[in-house]
Amino acid sequence: MDPWIVMTSVLLFTVCILILIYFLTPCRSALDLLNHRIKATCEFKSVYAGGKGLPTTREYIKELGELEDSWEEIRDEMLNATEDKEIPSMHDAYNNMFLYKGSGKNKNPLVNVFTWIVMKIIYGGDTEIFDQIGTDKWRTYNLVLFNQNVPGNAEKCPRTIQLLKKIPGMQSALFSFMKPGAYVPPHNDPAKGVIRYHLALKVPEKREKCFLEVDGYKHHWKEGEGFIFDDIYDHTVRNDTNETRVILFVDILRPLEGTARALQSLANFLNYYNPGVRRLINESREKKISEESEMKEDVVNNELIETF
C-alpha cells in the first residue's frame, strides 16, 4: 500500500479522535486520554518484582523464567550483534523516531509539518522528555518496536527474539548501554500503558556504583536477574564506574480492562503507524538489504580470486 495513503488515513483518523477528545474530555492528546483512563482504573506501585522484598520477576510473569535462564545466550547474541558497530544514542534514536529531528529529518518541509501534526495529536507536549534526558552515554540497539521486529537487528539475535515473543504483552525491546560516567536525570515516562522490565546482561564489577533509583528505591543490577518497575514514577540512572552496563530493556503492556484497554489498543495502532517508527523500520530494512548485497558481492569476488 502507498505509504502516503497510509499516512493520510492515519492523520484523518487521529484528527477525528483528537476533536472528540478535545471537546468531550479535559484531555488534549490521545496519550492524555489514555493516561486519564488508566489513572482512574489502576493502582500503581513503583516496583512490581525483583526488589523491595517482592516476588522474583519469574514469579510475577512466569514466561520471564525461560528468558532469565537463557541470559548468557542473550548476552552472547548481544555481543556478537553489536561488535564493531556504532550504536546510536537513545536521544538520537528516539528524537528521530518521535520528533523527526536531527539526521532523521525529511528534506521535504510538507512531510515534516505532517509529522509534527501527527506527533502533537498522539503525544501532545510529552515528547520533550527525550531532550530532557538526552546523553551521548546512553545508547540503544532496538530489537522490537511496537511489536515489529527491527530488520537486521532482530535477525542477529534469533534466540532473544524467540524468547521475547513468549512474554505476554511484550511491546518493545532493546539492548540498553550505559557507558562509564553515564547519568540520566530524574524523569518519568509520559505513557502509562506499559510497565518496564530489565534483565541484566553485563554489570560493572563495582555494581554498588551503578544503579537505577525509582521513587527513592535504589536498585543495583545483578547479571542474569530481572527487575520490573513502573516508569510513571520518577527514576534516575547512574554509572559511576569505568565499565559499560548492558541490560535487555522490555516494555510490557499494563493489564487493563474496559475503556482503558480499548484506548491502549488505539495507542498501539497509532504507534505502529507513527511516521518516525515507519521510517526507522524502513531504513533498517534497506540497510539490511544493502549489507546482504555487499556480503554476496564479497563472496563472489573471493571465489573469483581463488579461481585465478
Q: What pTM, to 2 d.p., does this model score?
A: 0.81
pLDDT for the residue numbered 79? 97
Q: What is the 3-state secondary structure (H, E, C) of the chain?
A: CCHHHHHHHHHHHHHHHHHHHHHHCCCCCHHHHHHHHHHHHCCCCCEEECCCCCCCHHHHCCCHHHHHHCHHHHHHHHHHHHCCCCCCEHHHHHHHHHCCCHHHCCCCHHHHHHHHHHHHHHHCCHHHHHHHCCCCCEEEEEEEECCEECCCCHHHCHHHHHHHCCCCCEEEEEEEEECCCCEEEEECCCCCCEEEEEEEEECCCCHHHEEEEECCEEECCCCCCEEEECCCCCEEEEECCCCCEEEEEEEEECCCCHHHHHHHHHHHHHHHCCHHHHHHHHHHHHHHHHHHHHHHHHHHHHHHHHHC
**Range of 41-55, 105-119, 279-293 with top mean pLDDT:** 41-55
Given a cut of 80, whether residue 243 has pLDDT beyond it is yes
264/169 Cα distance (integer angstroms): 11
For 87-140, the pLDDT digits (tens) are 888 877 765 565 544 444 555 666 666 666 666 666 666 556 666 666 789 999
The three cell numbers locating residue 281:
523500520
pLDDT for the residue numbered 103? 40
For 160-191, the pLDDT digits (tens) are 999 999 999 999 999 999 999 999 988 887 77
114/15 Cα distance (integer angstroms): 12
212/172 Cα distance (integer angstroms): 20
Across the range 131-156, mean pLDDT stands at: 88
Across the range 297-303, mean pLDDT stands at: 59
Whole-number mean pLDDT of the chain?
A: 82
Q: How far is CA 129 from CA 86, 91, 187, in A?
A: 24, 10, 8
**Range of 4-8, 39-43, 302-306 with top mean pLDDT:** 39-43
pLDDT for the residue numbered 102? 41
pLDDT for the residue numbered 292? 74
- Of 125 and 81, more confident: 81
pLDDT for the residue numbered 104? 44
Using an 8 Å Cβ cutoff, are 60 and 47 in contact? no
For 263-278, the pLDDT digits (tens) are 788 778 877 877 778 7
75/96 Cα distance (integer angstroms): 27
Across the range 249-257, mean pLDDT stands at: 92
- Of 258 and 226, more confident: 226
129/136 Cα distance (integer angstroms): 15
For 211-224, the pLDDT digits (tens) are 999 999 999 999 99
Structural domains in the chain?
A: 1-42+91-134+259-308 (no CATH), 45-89+136-255 (2.60.120.330)
